[in-house]
Structures are given as structure tokens and as C-alpha cells.
A and B are shown apart, each in its own frame.
Chain A
Amino acid sequence: MSITTWTWVIIGITFAIYILVAIRARAVSTGAFYAAEQTIHPVLNGMATGADWMSAASFISMAGVISFMGRDGSMYLLGWTGGYVLLAMLLAPYLRKYGKYTVPAFIGDRYYSQSARIISLLCAIFISFTYVAGQMRGVGVVFSRFLNVPINTGVVIGMCIVFFYAVLGGMKGVTYTQVAQYCVLIVAYMVPAIYISIMLTNNPIPAFGLGSSISPGGAEILQDSSTQGRYLLDVLNGIHKDLGFTEYTSGIRPKIDVFFIVIALMVGTAGLPHVIIRFFTVPKIRDARASAGWALIFIVLLYTAAPAVAAFARTNFIKTVHNVEYAEAPQWFKNWESTGLIAWVDKNDDGIMQYGPGKVFAGKPTYTGTTGHFGQAMVSNVVSAEPNELYVDRDIMVLANPEIARLPNWVVALVAAGGLAAALSTAAGLLLVISSSISHDLMKGVLMPSMSEKGELLWARCGAAGAVVVAGLLGIFPPGFVAQVVAFAFGLAAASFFPAIIMGIFSKKTNVYGAMSGMIAGIGFTAAYIVYFKFINPGANKPENWWFGVSPEGIGTVGMMINFALIIIVSKFTPEPPEEIQKLVDRLRYPVERTLGETKASAKARAPY
């Protein structure tokens, strides 16, 4: 069967599974819609969290980003995993004990303030929308690249699927589909990774293959017998040196900036509402801890393979393309040329492709539709003076991987299904946050407190439906700033929720004045810094202009510190929180309080605090 047929078949099967699961897991109460009735097994919740967390960017782009950044790319690997340690120890068990459904509800109750609740619900909605726009676009992009469907049609197909299980099933439907999606995406990622690892290094575990030496078969694929028996990373460093790049295993980004970015990503992860709410779905407090561990194990499975995929793809790419005549170029090169992910400009007119540091031309290639006299697709971009002749999009490192490794067609189709699973599962989690912020916090919590459960459930479904439509529109008409503001989502989560939640649990004396001033200052500072460097004065976005050498991506860390400092100082000089709030904070700290007659059954029915 051809790649296209295989892709339709595999995507069709996976979509059918998602729909089937959604029908079986319909939510009929708000408890099921927001928290799946707190019945999800911690291992399953770990899988769902993994799918929820790993987005289109993790699946499609991350390995490519690492392969172009070398060691500097590890900041994403560190930053997007370390937050789970914070979740397991500092947040998940206590928020689960609190026992309600949303982050704004916790903040509103803990700080006995509707304004605190409103600020955090606005933050939650803003963060989730900036994040979800990229996911819907990702669905469209996968459809267009693998099936030649227009991007917009792809977005609409994605909308219909998500609409179905998020609106009908709520958290319950989303959880079980996310479990299925995790299975699809991890298989889709690991199969090509394992194949390539065996081909190049004879090691079936990609993570270990990265540190292995190149096998005789691998040397043959790289068309260079001198690489045989040498460590892959040494070979890659050598190639980099020869071409004028810095060594692959060395970094060029200032350490202080990397340090701040990693903190912002870790703390942001722990403060992102769509991750936190996943821990409301497990039956017990100790399950919340265990579930964070399972989630991280499932995530690290992919995250330790990613740097291996990055290094394999980079070595393979340079070795099979650099200094090769275009006429002799591998088949995948020509396949992907038509999708705009790769382009060759024959600057010195010798018919040979030369690769090196520097950009071939500014921006993405715009094809003229004609072919040059070697048969290459011509572009109309103004070329730079650099000797580099190859434009390579980072996404190709994952998307074209199966073809580069000459794997069977069904593996290529599997990668398409995996990319869709990653994008759809993250989108669904985010849509739930938007929906519950609207129905539970805004409508029930602030505007119409007397609403019945039925009414609230209706609002929740409407909220989810509305959010799907808006997210789809953002995917079809992507505002130019989406890529710029993803850093914003993490920075904002780090600078707003994280300090307020942590201090709310670990310090009884933290009061509403501290929390409000901290959140407002943290959000305000972070937003101002990012808006200035990304929108008002993008030309000034250079290390010499950054405060303390921290880029806009890492500034959420400074915002978080400001937030913490204000919470502590202001709380010290203003009245303590009421007695009952302090008692309630106490109760968050113990899984059950037997002297107060708490049991599992009563904990479930516990009145909201």
C-alpha cells in the first residue's frame, strides 16, 4: 500500500478508537465532567497526563530543535520534565486533598477573595488559549503534510474530533482518549527511533544508542567507513568542526539565560492549569503523588529518546546530503522538497549540495514553481552571502525520519497518527480548563452562584463547545504572534499561579493582600517585559539589552521571584488570614484526619472549604 493509503487507514482507525472511547465515557454530572468522578487509576492518569503534556511541539519539533541547538537544546528536556518533581512534592497531593475542580477555585477559596479567583480564571483562560492555538494548527499541518489536505480542512477535522469527546465526555471522556492517544504517540515515536538506533549503532535502546559507537552497517549508511567503531557523538562533533559549526556537545547560549529559562519552564509546567487538573481525577491523595511519578516515567520514555533521535538524524542528514550531487540526492530529500521543509539553492552552480553554518536566505522558502537545470525546486528568496546552500526546517528531523531510515510505509503513517494524537490530546486538556473556568469559576462561582448542577453542566458543555470553535478559528487564522507567546504561557504560569499555590499550602500566614499584590506584580512585570521585547521593540531583543542577561523566554523566573517576595513581605505587614482559613490550610497537609472523623468516604463528600 502507498504511504497515503496507509496514513488514511491508520488515522481512521485511531480516530474511530477515540470516538468509541468517548461514547462509552460520557459525563453526566459535573463531578464527571470536571474530575472524572475521581476514579482514574494512577497509572492510567499518568499516561493521560503524558499525552496531555506532550504537545505537537514535543512530538514534531523538539528533536529537530535539539538537533540544531546541540547541547543548548537540553534546556527543553530539563525544563519540561523537572516540573513533575515539584508537582509530586509541592502541589499535586495538597490540591487533590482540597478536592475541588479548578485552580481558580482553590485560589479563590484559599485567599477568601472573589477578585483573586477572577484574576486567576482570566490567567487560566489566557494561558490555555495561547497554547491551544498552536495545537489546532499542528493538527492542520500534519494533515497537509501527510495527506495533502489543505491545512484549514485538517483543522476542521481536528475540531470535530475534539468537539465530540471534550463536549460529550468532559474530563472522563478526555482522560480515556488521552490514554489511547498516549499509546499511539509513544509507539509512533519509538518505532522509528529504535529502528534508526539499531541501524546506526546496533543498540536497540535509542537512549543508549546515543552513547554507543557506530556499527559496520551504520558506517555503510553514512557512506563513510572511517566512522565505524567510533562513538557517534565523537563523529558528530568531528562533522560539526569540519563544517565550521561549534561542537555538537558544547553550548553557546549564556549559562545565566539557560538557567533562568529552565526554571521558568519547570515552574511553569508545575503551574499550568491543564496539568494540575489531571491530578484531581485520582481516588486518593497518595495516588496523586504516585500519578505524578507515572506521568514523568511515561514522559521521560519519549524525552530520553528525543536527544538520540536528534543526534542520529543530524549525523545521517549531514552525511547523506552534504557534498552530494543533487542528482544523487536520497529520495526522501526530493519528497520533502515539495512540502517546503527543505530547499537547495545552488549558489556556486556546481550541482553539489553544500551545507554549513549561517542561513541560506531569510525566512521560509517561497517557491517559484519552476525547476532549475539540476531538477531542483527554485525559490525566489534573496540569498545570503553565506556558503550554506541548504534550507532545512527543524520539523523534518522527526517527520522524515522513517523515510530517511528507509522504514516501511506503515511506519510513516504511524508518525502522522502520533503527531495528531499529541496535538489532539493536549488541545482537549486545554479546552477543559477553558470550559471549567467559564462554567465553574465565572458562571457558578461569580455570576450565578445559585445555578443548579444541571445548569452548570450545560454551561460547561457550552464553554467547551465555544472554546473548540475559538481554538479552531485561531488555528485557521493564526495570529502572527502565536509562536511569540508560547513562552508567555510558561512565564505567566510561573509568575502567577505557582507562588500563590505554594505559599497558600506551605505558609498559613499568607493572606489575600500578599497573594493579590504578588500575582498582579508578577503578571504585570512578566507581561511588560515580553510585550516590550516581542512586540514594541523586537529589534532590541538581544542579549546586551536584556536585564541580567535574561531573555523573554526566561523572564517568568524573575516574575516568580517578585511574586514570592511580595507575598512574603506584604503578608507580614497586613492582617493574618481568618482563623478558619488557617485551620483549613492545616487540613490540606494530612491525607486524612482521623480525630476529625475523616475517612475516605467522608473525604469524598467533604464540604468545599
Chain B
Amino acid sequence: MAREQELQAYWKENLKYIIVLLSIWFCVSYLCGIVFVDQLDKFKIVGFPVGFWFANQGAEIIFCLLIIVYVRLMNRLDRKYDVYED
């Protein structure tokens, strides 16, 4: 039974990671890249209007980082709860 609770804790932590990372996913693409794009375009980084940058490149690059972070977190979590495949 203790093992069952452990596994449930594993799943809960996984869900927590997913929720946090998908919130960032939503912010950079839908909020920065679409909803608030005109407000952000008033600012500039080098030659890029910020909203335009998020929509064209920023969100895509952050997507990659999100997956990298998730992969690392999950590998650690798999080890912690002894469900790591060998």
C-alpha cells in the first residue's frame, strides 16, 4: 500500500510540473504572441518589436526550453520514485 501511495505522489508531482510548464507555454504563445502583441510591440529589443519577436521566434525557442526542463525534471522524478527504466 505504501508503494501505491508513493506512485500516486509521483503522478501528482508529474501533474504539477505539467501545469506549471504549460502555463508558461500558454503565456509566451497565446498571451505574448497573440493577445498582448500590440502592447508589447511598443517595446524593442535590438531591431525586434517585442510582441513580433515572441510570435515569430521567442515562443518557439521557449517551447524547446520547456521540453528540455520537463525531460530533466521527469528523469529526476523517475529516479526518486524508483520507476526509472534501466
A residues near B, CB below 8 A? Answer: 71, 74-75, 77-78, 81-82, 84-86, 88-90, 93, 207, 210-213, 231-234, 249-251, 255, 258-259, 262, 284-286, 289-290, 292-293, 296-297, 300, 303-304, 307, 589-595, 599-600, 603
| CB<8 Å pairs between A and B, sample of 17 | A71-B37, A71-B56, A75-B55, A78-B33, A78-B60, A85-B25, A89-B17, A89-B18, A233-B49, A234-B47, A262-B34, A286-B78, A296-B63, A590-B11, A592-B85, A593-B7, A594-B83
Shortest distance from the beta carbon of B85 to any chain A beta carbon, whole Å = 5
Q: Find chain B residues with CB under 8 A from A88 CB.
A: 67, 70-71
Nearest chain B CB to A126's CB is how many angstroms away? 28
Q: Are A289 and B74 in contact, with the CB atoms below 8 A? A: yes
Once the chains bind, are A259 and B34 in contact (CB under 8 Å)? Answer: yes
- Provide the residues of chain A in CB contact with B33, threshold 8 Å: 74, 78
B66 to A: closest C-beta gap in Å: 6
Q: How far is the CB of A439 from chain B (nearest CB, A)?
A: 29
In the complex, the answer to whether B85 meets A289 with C-beta atoms within 8 Å is no
A599 vs B18: C-alpha distance in the bound complex, in angstroms?
26
User: Assuming A77-B60, A292-B67, is B47 touching A249 (CB within 8 A)?
Assistant: no
Q: Across the interface, which residues of B come within 8 angstroms of A293, CB to CB?
A: 64, 67-68, 70-71
Q: CA separation between A259 and B37, bound complex, in Å?
A: 12
Query: How far, in angstroms, from A90 to B70 measured CA to CA in the complex?
Result: 11
Cα distance, A600 to B41, chains bound together (Å): 51
Interface residues of B (CB under 8 A from A): 3, 7, 10-11, 14, 17-18, 21-22, 25, 29-30, 33-35, 37-38, 41, 45-49, 52-53, 55-57, 59-61, 63-64, 66-68, 70-71, 74-75, 78, 82-86
Known: A255-B35, A286-B74. A210 touches B63 (CB 8 A): no
Q: Are B37 and A251 in contact (CB under 8 A)?
A: yes
Query: Given that A289-B70, A290-B71 are contacting pairs, would A304 and B47 also be in contact in the complex, using a CB cutoff of 8 Å?
Result: no
Contact at A82–B59, with CB atoms within 8 Å?
yes
A88 to B59, CA, bound (A): 16
- Chain B: CB-nearest residue to A286: B75
From A306, which residue of chain B is reached at the shortest CB distance? B56
Additional A-B contact list (16), CB under 8 Å, known A307-B56, A603-B85: A71-B37, A74-B33, A78-B29, A84-B63, A90-B18, A210-B47, A249-B41, A249-B49, A255-B35, A262-B30, A286-B78, A303-B60, A304-B61, A589-B14, A591-B83, A594-B82
Q: Which partner residue on chain A sits nearest B68 by CB separation? A: A293
Residue of A nearest to B75 (CB): A286
Residues of the A chain whose Cβ atoms lie less than 8 Å from the Cβ of B86: 599-600
Q: Number of residue pairs across A and B with beta carbons under 8 Å? A: 141
A300 with B63: CB separation less than 8 A: yes
Chain B residue numbers with a CB within 8 Å of A75 are 34, 55
Q: How far is the CB of B24 from chain A (nearest CB, A)?
A: 9
5 tightest A-B contacts by CB?
Answer: A231-B47, A74-B55, A293-B67, A211-B47, A307-B56
How long is the Cα–Cα vector from A142 to B72 in the complex, in angstroms? Answer: 41
Q: Give bound CA distance, A93 to B78, whole Å.
A: 12
Tell whether, in the assembled complex, residue B64 and residue A296 are in contact, meaning their CB atoms are under 8 Å apart: yes
**CA gap between A600 and B7 in the complex, in Å:** 18
Taking CB atoms, residues of chain B closer than 8 Å to A231 are: 46-47
The CA-CA distance from A259 to B78 in the complex, in Å, is: 35
Partner of B71, one of A211, A286, A590, A591: A286
Q: Which residues from B are CB-within-8-Å of A250?
A: 38, 41
CA A212 to CA B44, docked complex, whole Å = 12
A593 to B6, alpha carbons, bound, how many Å?
A: 11
Report which of A84, A213, A255 forms a contact with B34, defined as CB distance below 8 A: A255
B35–chain A nearest beta-carbon distance, Å: 6
Task: Contact check, B35 vs A259: say whether CB atoms are below 8 A apart.
Answer: yes
What separation, in Å, do the CA atoms of A114 and B28 have in the docked complex?
A: 41
Is A82 a contact of B63 with CB atoms below 8 Å? yes
Chain B hits for A290, CB < 8 A: 71
Contacts of B66 in A (CB 8 A): 85
Specify which chain A residues have a CB less than 8 angstroms from the CB of B52 in the assembled complex: 71, 74, 233, 249
- In the complex, A234 Cα to B49 Cα: how many Å? 10
- Would you call A211 and B55 a contact (CB within 8 A)? no
In Å, the complex CA distance between A210 and B46 comes to 10
Shortest CB-to-CB span from A146 to chain B, Å, is 29
A304 partner residues in chain B, CB cutoff 8 A: 56-57, 60-61
Return A604 CB to nearest CB of chain B, in Å: 11
Q: Are B47 and A89 neighbours in the complex by a CB distance under 8 Å?
A: no
Complex Cα spacing A207 to B21, Å: 25
A296 contacts which of B3, B47, B67 (Cβ < 8 Å)? B67
Which of A78, A591, A595 contacts B84, CB < 8 Å?
A: A591
Smallest beta-carbon distance B46→chain A, Å: 5
Q: Give bound CA distance, A297 to B60, whole Å.
A: 9
